[in-house]
Structure 1
């Protein structure tokens, strides 16, 4: 049994880690890859662009949703 609060905190800081902690490994890998790919595409290719500022917004939204999903997955 995973602690739902710990799963949410883990997944907020590293998207997907809370899902892996709650033993939903496939979903955890998907969240991690989505966060990593958004970092790679927006963070590296659009360095001097206006899209670079949107990366932070997208990153926070992914982290919040991943934390919420980890909270729902974990059974206390």
Structure 2
């Protein structure tokens, strides 16, 4: 798979690029982490801080998917 496509997929749906590239376990972990952080953002008043953490998870997932497909 093209590394750019894997990175884009993982940015919008964390873990998808890893799962498609063959590392299903890491993909599921990143996806669940993004879901948990998103749920926390809905429950916590300081959701801007939790949203930053969610953005960092998405950026890490995209970077990792890019490196996996090099």
Q: Which one of 42, 45, 59 corresponds to residue 44 of structure 1?
A: 42
- Given the two structures, how large is their TM-score scaled by the length of structure 1? 0.84
Alpha-carbon distance in structure 2 between the residues aligned to 1:3 and 1:36:
26
Count of aligned positions: 70
Please state if 1:58 is matched with 2:58: no
Please state if 1:71 is matched with 2:66: yes
Higher helix share: 2
**Contact 2:15 2:28 (8 Å CA) reproduced:** yes
Gaps of 5+ in 2: none
Task: Give the ranges of 4+ consecutive aligned residues of structure 1 lying more than 3 Å apart after TM superposition.
Answer: none
Alpha carbon RMSD of aligned pairs, Å? Answer: 1.1
Please state if 1:5 is matched with 2:29: no
Gaps of 5+ in 1: none
